[in-house]
Structure 1
Amino acid sequence: MRRPSPLVDIVVAMSMQLGVSSGLPFETADGYATVAGQAYYLRCQRLLAYELESPSISTLQCQILCSVYLCCATFHNMADGVCATVVRTAYMLGLHLDPPSTMPPKEREMRRRLGWAVYILDSKLGMKHGRPFLISQSQFSPKLPGHALEIALQAGSSYAPLGDNLTWLSFHHEHARLFLITRAIYSTVFQPQNPYDESITLDEQEALEARATALEDNMKELEEWANSVPDALKTKRTNNTRPFSADTCALNIDPFAPLWLQRQRLLLELMYHNLCTNLYRPFISFGPATASNAIELASSKCASHASTLTNILHQVLSSNFILNGWHEAFQWQWNASMTLLGFVLAYPLAPSAADAKRSIDLSLAVLDQFGESLAVAARAAKVVRQLVANIKLVRAQDTGTMAVFGESINGNLDQCTIDHTRLTTNTGLAIQSSEVGLAENAFGSEEIATASLQATLNMAFDVDQWAIPEMFWPLHTKEFDDYIDT
């Protein structure tokens, strides 16, 4: 027996979620490995209700983990809603300000780490769904979290240092820097001063080209970050090429490095490629106008980063268990798969289209590997296979049919591009893909002419297709207590 603790409950729930997804076939978890531990999550929520008026650091930690748990369970709207509570709690606790120097160093650094964890969560969900950020950049002033050996010892860790005054906390430091730079680029390039000014929407060719040029200039700062990452946090390549580069060279994973360090290295590079993919993704356009060199270059780089992410995940999942059952890694692969499909549809004759097609085949292998323990990944692989089959069928039709196909989709894509613009510029919701979903996988060849290709591309950001909300209906008290006791 133990005292009621919402923090312990959510840690147990997340451990069950990862544990079932890492080892057991999803059939043994009633088909829903993503919501393993839901009873502990529900009890955590019930206990948290008593802390909302007087929140503590522990309250905030619970809320952060609840948002992550929901995101891994593919309840993206619920995760975003909990994130809003996280931000408000952080404001209540004053974590948006740098701690005073009179505070003990251990507590001061812990508050900085928590403040930046909230910033990363808000940035990640805001850019993912195209929704307004909840944390105001001008009112967020804590220093980057420290990661020196002395600070790591004060944090209560027994992990071995990495040399050059680097520790296990260095990952969080670099992770925060990555999101700070990416969010600044996103806001500069894609957030208009007036979101209702129709003259600056991305559906206009000139504006799209201007944004592509601006993005290329701003991406230099992200490349500088990649070059500045300490070598201890980089996974080397077999041919000694630069880590974090968008190429297909195999990784040289150090088998003697601690498991936690191998995972930190991989997650940092995978997150980098995922963010780069999302920044370049708006330039995969299905509009009738001819793409300029800047737009084609941006779309090609988008496909390159998606291909690199796919290659890394395929190698890692095929050779070791570092990322087995890692829910966010599956979501990155789903995003990359749909991005590659969109690139092949939009630019079938591009020089890099052949590489993108090979990466699509590789992504199916990755989704199948995730599908061994995640039911949602198995459904995602089925969707991708159906889309690939229908794309091949359409491409095989004669010229006359293709002309009709082109005319039929062009009429639909104007509005779709506008919607995608609002998604990307953080002024609207993600498009709901009613034609294609993971819940209902029907996508016949006769529908591809009328379905929105841009909406199909936006399936990677779909927020309500993968999960069944009834999974989180409150359980009867006796059933709940019996479940916990067993």
Structure 2
Amino acid sequence: MNSAFGSPEAPAPKSEGRRGEGGEKPETSKLPSFEAPLRPKRQQVARACDSEIDRLKQKIKELEEQLERERTKPLVSTSGPPQPFALTPPSSDSTPAPDSVGVSHNVVGGSQLVWGGVMTNTGQSSRKTWYGPSSLFYFINRMNTYLSAIFQQLHPDDLIQLKSVAKTFATPDCNLAEDEDKEDAKDASQTVSNEAYLTPTQEEYFLNLYWQSYHPALAILDESEFKRHYRSLATKPGQPRKPSPLVDIVIAVSMQVGMAVAQRNSSRVLPATEVGKDDPSIAGRLYYRRCQRLLYNEQEAPTLMTVQCHILSAMYTCFAAFQNMCHIALSLAVRSSHMIGLHTEPPADLPIATQELRRRVWWTLYAFESKVCMKLGRPFYADGDLTSCDLPAHDQEAAILAGSDFTSLSENATWLTYTLYHVKLVQAARRVHTAFYDRYSNFYSGNTGQVIYDDSAALERYAEYLSTVMKPLDDWAESVPDVLKTKRSGDGRPFSTDRSPIVMEQFIPPWLQRQRLLLELLYHVVKTNLYRPFICFPSTVTESQPLGDICLSHAASAAEHSVALTHIFHHVVTNTDLLVGWHEPFQWQWNGALTLAGYLFACPTSDIAPSVREAIDLSIVVFEDFGRSFGTSLGAATLMRDLAIKIDFLAELVRGSNPQAAVLPNAQDPATTDQFATQAEVVPSASDITFTQDLFAGSMDMNMAYTVDNSGDLDMLWPPIENVPDQWWVYNQPLVPNGFGERFPG
């Protein structure tokens, strides 16, 4: 397996077939003289730069030829209904070569131009996977490209990625990537001693926790039927029960939240770097592994229980931040549900309780899979248009038949009402998401630059179009019954961005309070993600045009919804224990916090900048509170502090501070990270510029015809070789291509 980092002494690889400007191959074979000064790596980097420049020139030539071919094709008409398509990764014809850029701005599929994505590694392995333009990883890439340009220092994407167990281990089993060749790492059938599992009493504790926590928000099980099934697995007293994939995965996801609560209540302080085998997010991994081994035998003849297991497996991997494993588990769930006909109306000869359970399982899966695909920017598997299954019922009879004993909320609302409105929210979000991204080629033809951010007029028209398709979400917010709304003080309105304080009613069951919070938080997440593409970072191209009013308004809306989400989180974590150990809400806050940071980098002097900056401080408090349960959140708090330092530094420059006085904190300062040790003296003061999208234009010696927002090739933004502190050179060497799409210190 190719390593992402080679030996520091390895020379830069030769670029076969490339020649320098003088027509000769770059000199790469000469050995340094023994009398030469130390640190010859700078010479190697210079030669690598020459090779890189030649390669980029050739790449630009190829792209220009490709663009010219596309211009000769007839453009897609902007009138009439759009051609249906799904967001898809780049085809093999357009996938970047191993040593090319990691961003595919546009992909031509048939007659349409599809908004490309980014290839990045989000796990322990150096291998990269694809994330679309709606994903947080695409936004991180855009933001990092901008930061690299502004600070003249490489900001790889993984600098703003959480230190989760997925960054430490290749699987939830705690396998390392370098262990993949070991036989025991591959053998899923390897047995585990019974002593490693819980006792029956301990299992009962975690099962009871499931019914109190996840079950009201994920109504895919019949509680009474499950308990009968669990009792049927008993053997002799004192002996382990018979294995069951469903029981195993329910225990596994319950242990994630249960062990997080236990960690919070323990006296042991969790260090920020502790994301090892004891991390609560992979508690129960033995049960998860046994579940997967048992599910393997059900692939040819799946049942409803098989689908339930795949959904819960996707939950387990999602909460542990194994994004791709979660996506794979959901694909198995969708395919298995198709095999047993869950997407169709249940047979009339089934009991009503079974019919309703099948509807709840299908639509919960539909919502879960849709959320993940929108979050990752990838194609949908579950097709609502081809579904004949009715939405699940939520009346009193359906609630009684569901097998759980929860109090009725009102004459027209039960504990199942949340499931219905959760599904309707995701349906509305998916309609807007699909309508928006399907129309990309109607507004951007590819004739101006590489991506729509190069064409401010097209971007403004695209922003105007988004405004016309947001109505389903607004209608949904109006339709939610009062019993599922979190109250506000004064005249504050739920599902709004007025930032009015929430009111946690006394003597309300925790499951109902969670349902209310989860609905509103998800609403703000959905709105944030839909508006976020219009957060546009200042350009380094002086001829770029200022953004339009609608585009700027959408960017502000993305920030406003993230501010509202953060205020709700802050109130909840500082006053209640409702979300202790809940990993998905933590991921929502992380998504919102990075959106806030990105907005302030893009619009540091906007009218709402002070309230956005305040929300970043609140998010740090939220992460510190979640960090009492799992270490990943403490890492999130550290990352946000570092981003806040950079945000404040740039804001001072824009407000007119002396750039020689406004020097970034030294890397040795414990309040900062060692990645931020460079001086930013090349950034001009605000008195020298007009704050538009040309902010910081011309402040860097970057002779390239790319904007910061569309470049995506962080390797082009090499820090200057001269006048670099020695400690920066030791720890922050530029990365040189190794010929396999990976890079190592030069």
TM-score (norm. length: structure 2): 0.54
Q: What is residue 36 of structure 1 aligned with on the other side?
A: 283
1:103-148 CA-to-partner distances (Å, cap 9, x unmatched) read: 3321211111111111112111110011111123321232211100
Moved more, 27-36 or 140-149: 27-36
| Alpha-carbon distance change, 445 to 126 in structure 1, aligned in 2, over 3 angstroms | farther
Does the CA contact (< 8 Å) of 2:497 and 2:560 recur in 1? yes
Superposed displacement of residue 37, structure 1? 0.8
Indicate if the aligned counterparts of 1:287 and 1:413 stay in contact, CA closer than 8 A: no
Percent identity of the aligned residues? 39
CA shift at 1:206, angstroms? 2.4
Paired with 1:269 and 1:412, the residues of 2 have a C-alpha distance of: 43
Q: Compare 344-353 and 281-290 and name the one that shifted more.
A: 281-290
Matches within 5 A, 1:24-423: 24-25=263-264, 26=270, 30-192=277-439, 198=446, 201-203=451-453, 204-288=455-539, 289-396=545-652, 398=658, 401-403=682-684, 406-407=697-698, 408=700, 414=707, 416-417=709-710
2:160 alignment counterpart: none
Partners of 1:377 and 1:50 lie apart in 2 by: 37
Distance change (3 Å), C-alpha of 1:23 and 1:74: same
Native 8 Å contact 2:566 2:615 kept in 1:
yes
CA shift in 2, pair 1:4/1:197, >3 Å: farther
Deviation at 1:18, TM superposition (A): 0.6
Aligned to 1:423: none
1:22/1:326 contact within 8 Å kept: no
Structure with the higher helix share, 1 or 2: 1
Instruction: Return the alpha-carbon distance in structure 2 between the equivalents of residues 167 and 205 of structure 1.
Output: 48
Letter in 2 for 1:34: S
- 1:223 deviates by 1.3
Match of 1:456 in 2: none
Q: Mean alpha-carbon deviation: is it higher for 141-150 or for 312-321?
A: 141-150
Question: C-alpha displacement at 1:389, in angstroms?
Answer: 1.3
Q: 1:278 to 1:419 in 2, by over 3 A?
A: farther
Larger radius of gyration: 2
Following TM superposition, by how much is the alpha carbon of 1:211 offset from its aligned partner in structure 2, in angstroms? 2.1
Is the Cα–Cα contact under 8 Å of residues 536 and 709 in structure 2 kept in the other structure? no
The separation in 1 between residues aligned to 2:623 and 2:441, in whole angstroms, is 40
**Contact 2:538 2:708 (8 Å CA) reproduced:** no
Give 1:30 deviation, angstroms: 4.9
Say whether the 8 Å CA contact 2:524–2:564 is kept in structure 1.
yes
Kindly indicate whether the alpha-carbon contact (under 8 Å) linking 1:20 and 1:36 is maintained by their aligned counterparts in 2. Answer: yes
Please tell me whether the aligned partners of residues 390 and 445 of structure 1 are also in contact (alpha carbons under 8 angstroms): no
- Distance in 2 between the 1:325 and 1:135 partners? 29
Letter in 2 for 1:347: C
Structure 1: which 5+ runs fail to align? Answer: 421-430, 436-443, 452-486
Report the alpha carbon displacement of residue 219 of structure 1 after superposing the two structures with TM: 1.9
1:333 positional shift: 0.6
Change (3 A) 1:409 1:228: farther
Asked whether the 8 Å contact 2:531–2:558 carries over to 1, the reply is yes
**TM-superposed deviation, 1:307:** 0.4
Correspondence for 1:7 among 246, 249, 270: 246
Structure 2 stretches lacking a partner, 5+ long:
1-239, 265-269, 540-544, 660-680, 686-695, 719-726, 735-746
- Does structure 2 conserve the Cα–Cα contact (< 8 Å) formed by 1:284 and 1:342? yes
CA contact (8 A) 2:597 2:647 kept: no
Alpha-carbon distance in 1 for matches of 2:619, 2:503: 20
Q: Distance in 2 between matches of 1:292 and 1:118?
A: 39
Confirm or deny: 8 A CA contact 1:236 1:243 kept in the other structure: yes
Cα deviation 1:254-299 (Å, max 9, x = unaligned): 1211111011001010010111111111010114331211011111
Question: In the alignment, residue 261 of structure 2 is paired with which amino acid?
Answer: S
2:705 and 2:369 map into 1 onto residues whose CA distance is 33
Aligned 1:10-25 pairs, distance under 5 A: 10-25=249-264
State how far apart, in whole Å, the 1-side matches of 2:469 and 2:409 are: 31
CA separation of 1:4 and 1:147: change in aligned 2, threshold 3 A: same
Q: Any idea what SS the aligned residue of 2:421 has?
A: helix
Secondary structure of residue in 1 paired with 2:683: helix
CA distance in 2, matches of 1:256, 1:212: 44
Question: Which has the higher mean CA deviation after the structures are superposed, 1-10 or 174-183?
Answer: 1-10
The answer as to whether partners of 1:147 and 1:169 remain within 8 angstroms in 2 is yes
**Deviation string, structure 1 residues 382-413 (Cα, Å, up to 9, x no partner):** 11111111233344454673249644498697
The whole-number CA distance in structure 2 between the counterparts of 1:419 and 1:177 is 36
Change (3 A) 1:409 1:365: farther
Q: CA deviation at 1:192?
A: 3.6
* Residues 123 and 409 of structure 1: CA distance in aligned 2, closer, same or farther (over 3 Å): farther
Alpha-carbon offset, residue 216 of structure 1:
1.7
Residues 192-224 of structure 1: CA deviation (Å, up to 9, x unaligned): 476996369532222321221122222222112
The structural deviation recorded for 1:95 is: 1.3
Which residue of the partner structure matches residue 460 of structure 1? none
